[in-house]
Amino acid sequence: MRVNKSMLARSLHKLFTQIFAPKLQKLAVYQLGNPALREIAHPIADVGDREIQNLIEKMLVTLNESNGVGLAAPQIGRSLQLVIIASHPNQRYPHAPQMEATAMINPKIISHSVETEKAWEGCLSVPMIRGLVPRYREIEVEYCDRHGDQQNARLTDFVARIFQHEYDHLEGKVFLDRVETSLDLVTELEYQKLLKS
Ligand SMILES: [Zn+2]
């Protein structure tokens, strides 16, 4: 059998880099009670900064491995105006629309519908609790994307809800602050029963 040496070298190099390349680790998500979750986040001056780009990568890994639909920088202890939104159907949100994970820097709500809607929310920083939270059904937002380009978008329903939830984190708020009554709070176990009923 003839062995192509350059092919073999390439395969070995690929294998070597796959084994030894530094894998981005999932970051610890701060939990309710940590003062970092109550701070007002600071705007990001330079999106191209290597540290900011690394932070976005780490947040994407953390969100993906946590199977979450959104994450804000204060949740990993960074007081910066940066959120990731990544709606996708999963066990917690079976009817969520599929979208590519999107990093939004210095996001703002420009306008919103009068109409609000109550629906279930959870949070990686508030494990095992679900709440019925009123949110605007439609919002117009602007943000800077990870390439430094200013974006404008109209968001509705579940994606609008994720945005408002993550935006709250930048203002030191969690979804528990938004429920109308403590009767609208349930445990994860009871939430799963509600989903099946
Ligand atoms: Zn949250």
Distance from the alpha carbon of residue 178 to the mean position of ligand 1, in angstroms? 12
**Cα 21 to ligand 1 centroid, rounded to whole Å:** 31
Give dist(CA 77, CA 74) in Å, integer.
Answer: 5
- Separation CA 184–CA 142 (nearest Å): 31
CB neighbour burial string for 149-180, b if at least 16 within 10 angstroms, e if fewer: eeeebebebbbbbbbbbbbbbbebebbbebbe
**How does pLDDT run across 29-70, given as a tens digit for each residue?**
999 999 999 999 999 999 999 999 999 999 999 999 998 999
pLDDT in tens, 107-165: 999 999 999 999 999 999 999 999 999 999 999 999 999 999 999 999 999 999 999 99
Q: Which residues are catalytic?
A: 166
Distance, CA of 187 to CA of 184 (rounded, Å): 10
Q: Domains along the chain?
A: 24-196 (3.90.45.10)
What's the whole-model pTM score? Answer: 0.87
CA of 193 from ligand 1 middle (Å) equals 22
Q: How far apart are the first and last CA of the chain?
A: 63
150: CA distance to ligand 1 center in Å?
24
